[in-house]
Structure 1
Amino acid sequence: MSEMYGIGEMARDSGLTISALRFYDGAGVLVPAWVDPDTGYRWYGPGQRQEARLLARLRRVNMPLADIRLVLAGWSSQDTALVSTLLDAHLLRLEDGLDDARRELSTVRELLALREHPMNATGTDTTDTAQGSTPLRLTFAAPDLAAALDTVRFAVSGDPDLPMLGGVHIDIDGAEQALRLVATDRYRLAVAQLQAETAPGTAQQVIVPAALVDAMRALLTAEGEAVLTLDSDGSITLDVAGSRAAGACLDHDFPDYRRLTRLPAGRRVAVDVVALRELLTTGPTRRGPDSADVDISLLALTPDGALTVVGDADSCHADDTGSDSADPTNPGDRIAVNREFLLDALAASARDRLVLELGGPVAPLAVRLPEGEDQNRFSLLMPIRLTD
């Protein structure tokens, strides 16, 4: 046994997760040299360390499982011709797939260009560049505007390659008498709505850069009125108790967030925020797939309907009473989320009780206020797709 390696050591040495090693054992791809008949613990031989590292590399380039099995078989038998043939065939598939992706994305770009600059029957660009000339002024209670900004600020993107997501989108809808604040970094999206007294038919959309959002939030520290002014030159101003924050809005178009928020109904679970935060910070986690350097929490529901944070061997749950208990769950129903992102969403809500809406392993996780409170203030977290 001194020359054998436990599954934990094999996982650390190869870059595969423990659950991945279990999966590949069950699939007959990398079978342990010995399994303890009493405990079921897996042990691997010295020669299997190199095979596990090779398996991790093939997995990162999405080689089909059937081909991986043949590559490992050829590797162990030193059949270099077979291994080379399989590698060349997979590389050709990847290159063909990349060529297809380039063609499809080029077509999408052409269609996008037509949407940005539509042409009429005479071939003239029909893009409407006219803007209103009268500034739009809206008045809110300072604490309400502060709470709305706090709800969405955490979801602003910091990716310089996506400048259109680098701020808070303000959408004024006169028909609904509403002002919506929206932010997204692709992996999470947050929405907050305030009532806005505007003239019928008023509609305006701007993106306020993150630095200006923070300057505005710094003014909203006391009771009183906050006056938001949007000018036709693309600038925005916030006046609060004799202080002002002003600047230019981003010259970009924000994605259609309404489309992103149209979700099928999921299972709604009331949670105690303090208890859930404790479980997330102290409970089991796993690392992100491939090179994603994030801590993942696995969420699931127990048979009695409580939300759980599960690991490989045990689970604890945080229901609306804050009680903890161990309870097995169905691995197929687990939802993998970025732990830090979920903690940020819980903090942004500033509530002791929340409702999490679970649509399944591949549907966005919705974090909502309890029934009876504002349902136009919520955040969405994209789940992480696990490959094992």
Structure 2
Amino acid sequence: MRSIGEMARDSGLGVSALRFYDRAGVLVPARVDPVSGYRWYGPEQLGEARLLARLRRAGMPLADVRLVLAGWSGADTGLVRELLDAHLRRLEQGLSDARGEFSALRAVLDHRENPMTSLRTAAARLSVAAIELAAALDAVRFAASTDPELPMLGGVLFDIEAGRLHVVATDRYRLAVARADVTGHEGSRVQVVVPTPLADAMRALLDDGQVRLSVDGDRVTLEAGDRQAAGQCLGHDFPEYRRLLPPAGGRAALVDVAAFRTALETGPVRCAEGTGAPDLSVLRVGDDGTVTVCADGDERPDRVAVNRAFLLDALTAGARERLVLQVDAPTAPITIRRPDDEGSLSVLMPVRLED
């Protein structure tokens, strides 16, 4: 007999998926402990679970999955082949439809003016406190993308406007924003995307006092005394991050970072599906403002799953003993804010749990 954890490891299905398919009557455990409710699976069920994992990765609807599993071990496999072929045709048609829609969207983009062009070719000269810029870079650096397929996210956005420098990074799954006050720039809004190696070189120069930041079209320079870091900006548009920021609201909790970190590191985790998938922490914010790291088997609807490593990084980047954790719906982003600085925050995308 295999425990549910062993079955998850050997089959490629996550624990939450196994629970889901049990409730759906698709893959029912051979035995369920009447006291603890713990699930146990027979040796013959491993093959079914691996088949189910393949069908799941292929995106087959649950109704068809039931029929495939029912006919898989039978003598007549004709129905199974028909179901597989029909699903493949649906996928191919869906891909064809998606290509058509994307082609139309690209045509629309080709006829639009790029609103970022003027922002990226402007010039700016400003002064900023080294300690403030260092703190801002430290607060967002963890969220910068390393995906070579998304070069526009492989840097840190410097957004200069109205006496403020907003520093932004995102890899799609997390977004971090921090700000610093600046002097010397009275012109219009200027934006540049600084490659992460150059941003790291700038951070290494930040010690004390004031530093000078200069933008000349696609080139940016940071001067700290007689030291300098300069280079070309990325020639890509950065997403309009302000539209990605979640609205105020939801359930908020003021957490002690050290205690919360310990609870995350030692508490229960769920394993996301797929090779190399991250460990998930499942959280729930009570009406009294307390945060609970949910135990395995907690199925309350207000729980939210998040990449545990990403959350720990965000806590470190928050650089405070206490941080505000804002949670809304299970499908809404999780926000981490500093109690003393509403303009600096981290946003983490939740991970969907099986119903």
Same fold (TM > 0.5): yes
- How many corresponding residue pairs? 354
Q: Which residue of 2 aligns with 1:379?
A: 346
1:303 offset after TM fit, Å?
Answer: 5.6
One-letter code of the match for 1:138?
Answer: L
The whole-number CA distance in structure 1 between the counterparts of 2:114 and 2:160 is 24
- Matching residue within 202, 206, 211 for 2:192: 206
The whole-number CA distance in structure 2 between the counterparts of 1:210 and 1:200 is 27
Q: Which residue of 1 aligns with 2:305?
A: 336
User: For the Cα contact (< 8 Å) 2:145–2:154, is it kept in 1?
Assistant: yes
One-letter code of the match for 1:47?
Answer: E
Q: Which residue of 1 aligns with 2:203?
A: 217
Q: Which moved more, 1:272-281 or 1:10-19?
A: 10-19
User: For the Cα contact (< 8 Å) 1:296–1:338, is it kept in 2?
Assistant: yes
Q: Which residue of 2 aligns with 1:17?
A: 14
One-letter code of the match for 1:369?
Answer: R
User: For the Cα contact (< 8 Å) 1:168–1:207, is it kept in 2?
Assistant: yes
User: For the Cα contact (< 8 Å) 2:305–2:352, is it kept in 1?
Assistant: yes
The 5 A counterparts of 1:1-388 are: 4-116=1-113, 131-132=121-122, 136-173=124-161, 176-198=162-184, 200-221=186-207, 223-232=208-217, 234-263=218-247, 265-291=249-275, 293-302=277-286, 304-313=288-297, 331-370=300-339, 373-387=340-354
- Identical amino acids, percent of aligned pairs: 58
User: For the Cα contact (< 8 Å) 2:246–2:333, is it kept in 1?
Assistant: no
**Residues 142 and 36 of structure 1: is their aligned pair in 2 closer, same or farther, counting only changes over 3 Å?**
closer
The whole-number CA distance in structure 2 between the counterparts of 1:199 and 1:185 is 29
Q: Which moved more, 1:210-219 or 1:11-20?
A: 11-20
SS of the aligned residue for 2:112 comes to helix
User: For the Cα contact (< 8 Å) 1:289–1:386, is it kept in 2?
Assistant: no
1:72 offset after TM fit, Å?
Answer: 1.0
One-letter code of the match for 2:328?
Answer: G
The whole-number CA distance in structure 2 between the counterparts of 1:365 and 1:163 is 25
The whole-number CA distance in structure 1 between the counterparts of 2:134 and 2:63 is 55
1:34 offset after TM fit, Å?
Answer: 3.2
SS of the aligned residue for 1:383 comes to coil
One-letter code of the match for 1:353?
Answer: R
One-letter code of the match for 1:377?
Answer: S
Is the radius of gyration larger for structure 1 or structure 2? Answer: 1
1:130 offset after TM fit, Å?
Answer: 10
1:177 offset after TM fit, Å?
Answer: 2.3
SS of the aligned residue for 1:157 comes to coil
Give a deviation string over 1:148-175, Cα, whole Å, max 9, x none.
11111111111112111111111111xx
**Residues 18 and 160 of structure 1: is their aligned pair in 2 closer, same or farther, counting only changes over 3 Å?**
closer
User: For the Cα contact (< 8 Å) 2:250–2:328, is it kept in 1?
Assistant: yes
1:220 offset after TM fit, Å?
Answer: 0.9
One-letter code of the match for 1:225?
Answer: Q
The whole-number CA distance in structure 1 between the counterparts of 2:119 and 2:268 is 53
User: For the Cα contact (< 8 Å) 1:212–1:247, is it kept in 2?
Assistant: yes
**Residues 349 and 73 of structure 1: is their aligned pair in 2 closer, same or farther, counting only changes over 3 Å?**
same
User: For the Cα contact (< 8 Å) 2:119–2:190, is it kept in 1?
Assistant: no
SS of the aligned residue for 1:345 comes to helix
SS of the aligned residue for 1:375 comes to strand
TM-score by structure 2 length? 0.92
Q: Which moved more, 1:29-38 or 1:60-69?
A: 29-38
The whole-number CA distance in structure 2 between the counterparts of 1:130 and 1:277 is 39
SS of the aligned residue for 1:275 comes to helix
SS of the aligned residue for 2:301 comes to helix
**Residues 36 and 77 of structure 1: is their aligned pair in 2 closer, same or farther, counting only changes over 3 Å?**
farther
**Residues 40 and 230 of structure 1: is their aligned pair in 2 closer, same or farther, counting only changes over 3 Å?**
closer
1:186 offset after TM fit, Å?
Answer: 0.8
Give a deviation string over 1:239-292, Cα, whole Å, max 9, x none.
113221111211111111111114362211100100111112121112223345
* Structure 1 gap segments, 5+ residues each: 119-126, 314-328
